[in-house]
């Protein structure tokens, strides 16, 4: 009898040992991360497509407004969102997860109380909603950001970069202190350039702009980021698009939709490049995020603490360690200050800052692909 009990306990111990060994061997495949932000893209358009009621007061030139209304309209939300963001609602939906459809109680929102871009981008990259950062003033961010942290980790030195359409990125990412290359706005790219980079710089220089222009066209940001990735293979890169916010504030709903569609196309092309490059293929996790939401009805053009629903955002993630879930319909509450720590966690790192950051989005890892 004692022999049988001893044998049972031995087999149980062996099973535990084998399980621990198996678990420890399930190392994450993510070696690189891409964080793409899209300024002020509402979850309503991302999840439900075009809103026909907003075309009524659209300030877009009538000819284009009518054409784009036909281009993006369909009878159901599922059809409309596929017309607007076909990549998000095809390959991304099949291989990743999309969060933020509040019709299912899947809530994602900002933590900072100001709900404008600089405080929001600071929250995304630093994992902390700093109430001292109240507006879009161009002041160097005192908080440590994720890219800055990664640049100091073994294997990431000089393998981190950011390409952002809005010139404020130099400040909210504090390029001078952080030491990471941040190419933004209409500033010229430094160093020896490839023929492709030289051509992009020529186009940026000749693009018509006013003296007050603070954001370059997003296509230039995309092309610069992609060529930099091809040449230098950064392991962590931030890419920031901006023109949706410009079209929103000017009340040009049709052009706002067209820019969302352009984002989807660029992200699709970037992902195809990632999966064709041996350095990135099946080793890269992509996170899509937005800085803030917008109001409803006539207030869709605005955001801020007085605009209801402007704190509502969404995000999507896809990569080799993500168990596909498509559109997430579970009731949950996720916050913008959790993105930085979550991105670090994909790389099996803990983002350490002088501030207490938001926690890892646990459900992404509880349902981790084995």
DSSP string computed for 181-213 = -EEETTPPPPS---HHHHHHHHHHHHS---TT-
The answer to whether residue 199 scores a pLDDT higher than 60 is: yes
Q: What is the pLDDT of residue 28?
A: 85
Predicted confidence at residue 24, as pLDDT, reads 36
Domain membership flag for residue 298: yes
Can you give the CATH number for the domain in which 185 is found? 3.40.720.10
The DSSP result for 18-56, as a single string, is HHHHHHHH------EEEEEEETT--HHHHHH---GGGGT
Output the CA angle 342-346-348, nearest 5 degrees: 105
The mean of the pLDDT values for the chain is 92
pLDDT greater than 50 at residue 125? yes
C-alpha to C-alpha distance for 43 and 289, rounded to whole angstroms:
11
Residue 185 within a domain: yes
pLDDT at 222 over 80: yes
Number of H helices, E strands in the chain: 15, 11
**Overall domain count for the chain:** 1
> Which tens digits make up the pLDDT trace of 10-47?
444 444 444 433 333 457 899 999 999 999 999 999 99
Residue 202 CA to residue 118 CA, distance in Å, equals 29
Of 95, 50, 110, residue with least CA distance to 77: 50
Give me the pLDDT at residue 190, please.
84
Q: For 61-95, how does the pLDDT look when each residue is reduced to its tens digit (9 = 90+)? A: 999 999 999 999 999 999 999 999 999 999 999 99
- Alpha carbons 173 and 170: distance in angstroms, whole number: 6
The per-residue pLDDT for 26 is 58
13-45 burial by CB neighbour count: b if 16+ within 10 A, else e?
eeeeeeeeeeeeeeebebbbbbbbbbbbbbbbb
In a domain, 348, yes or no: yes
Statement: residue 162 has pLDDT above 50: yes
At 105-122, the pLDDT tens digits run: 999 999 999 999 999 999
Percent of the chain with pLDDT over 90: 88
- Global pTM reads 0.92
Report percent pLDDT > 70 for the chain.
Answer: 91
Q: Which domain holds residue 36?
A: 30-366
Q: 95 lies in a domain?
A: yes
pLDDT in tens, 310-339: 999 999 999 999 999 999 999 999 999 999
pLDDT above 90 for 206: yes
Q: What confidence score (pLDDT) does residue 366 get?
A: 76
Question: How high is the pLDDT of residue 211?
Answer: 59
Q: Is 292 helix (H, G, I), strand (E, B) or coil?
A: coil
* Residues 160, 180: Cα–Cα separation, whole Å: 6
For residue 318, is it within any domain?
A: yes
10 belongs to a structural domain: no
Q: Give domain status of residue 324, yes or no.
A: yes
Model confidence at 6, pLDDT cuts 50, 70, 90, reads: very low
């Amino acid at each position: 009898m004692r022999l049988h009990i001893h044998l049972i306990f031995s087999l149980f111990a062996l099973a535990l040992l084998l399980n621990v060994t198996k678990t420890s061997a399930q190392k994450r495949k993510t070696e690189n991360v891409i964080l793409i932000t899209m300024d002020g893209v509402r979850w309503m358009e991302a999840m439900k497509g075009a809103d026909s009621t907003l075309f009524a007061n659209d300030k877009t030139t009538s000819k284009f407004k009518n054409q784009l209304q036909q281009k993006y309209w369909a009878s159901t939300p599922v059809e409309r969102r596929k017309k607007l963001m076909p990549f998000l609602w095809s390959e991304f939906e099949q291989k990743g997860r999309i969060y933020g459809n509040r019709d299912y109680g899947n809530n994602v929102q900002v933590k900072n109380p100001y709900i404008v871009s600089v405080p929001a981008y600071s929250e995304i990259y630093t994992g902390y909603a700093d109430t001292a950062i109240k507006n879009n003033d161009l002041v160097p961010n005192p908080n440590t950001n994720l890219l800055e942290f990664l640049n100091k980790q073994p294997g990431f030195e000089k393998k981190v970069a950011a390409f952002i359409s809005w010139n404020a990125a130099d400040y909210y990412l504090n390029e001078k202190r952080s030491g990471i290359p941040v190419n933004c706005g209409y500033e010229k790219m430094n160093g020896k350039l490839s023929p492709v980079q030289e051509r992009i710089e020529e186009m940026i220089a000749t693009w018509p702009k006013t003296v007050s222009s603070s954001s370059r066209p997003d296509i230039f940001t995309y092309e610069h980021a992609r060529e930099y990735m091809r040449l230098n293979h950064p392991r962590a890169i931030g890419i920031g698009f901006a023109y949706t916010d410009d079209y929103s504030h000017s009340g040009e709903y049709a052009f706002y939709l067209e820019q969302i569609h352009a984002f989807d196309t660029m992200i699709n092309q970037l992902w195809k490049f990632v999966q064709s490059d041996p350095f990135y293929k099946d080793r890269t996790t992509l996170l899509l995020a937005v800085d803030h939401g917008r109001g409803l009805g006539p207030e869709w053009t605005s955001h801020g603490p007085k605009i209801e629903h402007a704190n509502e955002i969404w995000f999507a993630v896809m990569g080799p360690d993500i168990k596909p879930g498509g559109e997430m319909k579970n009731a949950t509450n996720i916050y913008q200050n959790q993105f930085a720590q979550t991105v670090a966690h994909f790389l099996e790192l803990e983002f350490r800052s002088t501030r207490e950051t938001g926690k890892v989005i646990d459900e992404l890892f509880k349902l981790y692909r084995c």
